[in-house]
Amino acid sequence: MRVLRLPGIHHDSNVVVVTGAAGSLLINAGTSWYQGLQVERVKGVIGEDQPLDRILLTSKRYPCSGGAKHISEMFGDCPVHIHEEGQAALETGDFFTTWANRYDSDMPPLQTEVSTDGEVFALGDGQVEAVHLPGCSPDGMGYWIKEQSMMVVGCLLPRADRPARWDLPGGCLPELIESLEQIKRRQPSAIVPLQGPAIRGKNHVAEVLSRHVTFLRACEERNGAAPVSWGRPAPTAVWYSSHPPWPLEEKESV
């Protein structure tokens, strides 16, 4: 089985192509801004004339879902899966709760299928397991690739150096902490976050997760308030910007 991260462009989420002996799937779709390019990138991985079996979304948020309809259509209307909490927003084209309006974009209505906690998508020589990870959004999902010891997430972990927000509609700080703890219990060797480079190495992954949980627990002790010095996030940001900055990459050992 092969797993390849297609780095997010501008506001796009990272997009992950998973190919196996029995098919291929896509995790996240990015915005609609680069959806044509996204199709070409996916074809470059799976082959020009090869099918894409399904698209799995980590969230209804526009950076993850905006390009899903177009990509699905370009691959023969392949099914798009999302947690049931996000279905209504995508199927009605709700550009408020998907945040498409924050990016001055439309959200075309999209038929979806439910992705449930524990559901397994088999690819012949490997599989992808759906994991419900609420906190940033009630429809938050992660996708566990056991053969790679890898978790693919969305807004739950925006980047190694950016903690997720919980002060958005549907956000919940205790759930956010528990979802990160749930990932920690799996002891992954790699995490693909919403944006930025993959977090690799079991020790580095554990350190990053612990840093996020420690920060969030401190916010919980302040009755859910982020540090004043961190400032107010931008309207399109699903993260807080740390001050002083957190390290993005693992420090080299001396």
pLDDT at 252 over 70: no
Model pLDDT, residue 179? 98
* Per-residue pLDDT at 60: 97
Query: Is residue 55 predicted with pLDDT exceeding 70?
Result: yes
Query: Which of 239, 91, 92 has the alpha carbon at shortest distance from 154?
Result: 239
- CATH dotted code for 2-230: 3.60.15.10
Identify the pLDDT of residue 251.
Answer: 55
> For the chain, what percent of residues have pLDDT higher than 70?
98
Report the SS3 class of residue 130: strand
Report whether pLDDT(57) > 60.
yes
**Domain boundaries along the sequence of the chain:** 2-230
Of the pLDDT bands very low, low, confident and very high (cuts 50, 70, 90), residue 253 is very low
Confidence of residue 44 (pLDDT cuts 50, 70, 90): very high
Q: How confident is the model at residue 237 (pLDDT cuts 50, 70, 90)?
A: very high
Which of residues 213 and 170 earns the better pLDDT score?
Answer: 213
Radius of gyration (Cα) for the chain, nearest Å?
17
Model pLDDT for residues 85-120, shown as the tens digit of each residue: 999 999 999 999 999 999 999 999 999 999 999 999
**238 CB contacts (<8 Å, ≥6 apart)?**
61, 63, 136, 155, 158, 164, 165, 168, 194
Helix or strand run (H / E) with residue 45: helix 35-46
What is the average pLDDT score of the chain? 95
What is residue 254's predicted lDDT score, i.e. its pLDDT? Answer: 27
Distance, CA of 248 to CA of 193 (rounded, Å): 12
Residue 147 C-alpha from the chain's centroid: 19
- The enclosing H or E element of 171 equals none
Report how far residue 141's alpha carbon sits from residue 153's, in angstroms, rounded to the nearest whole number: 7
Prediction pTM value: 0.96
Distance of CA 166 to the CA centre of its chain: 15
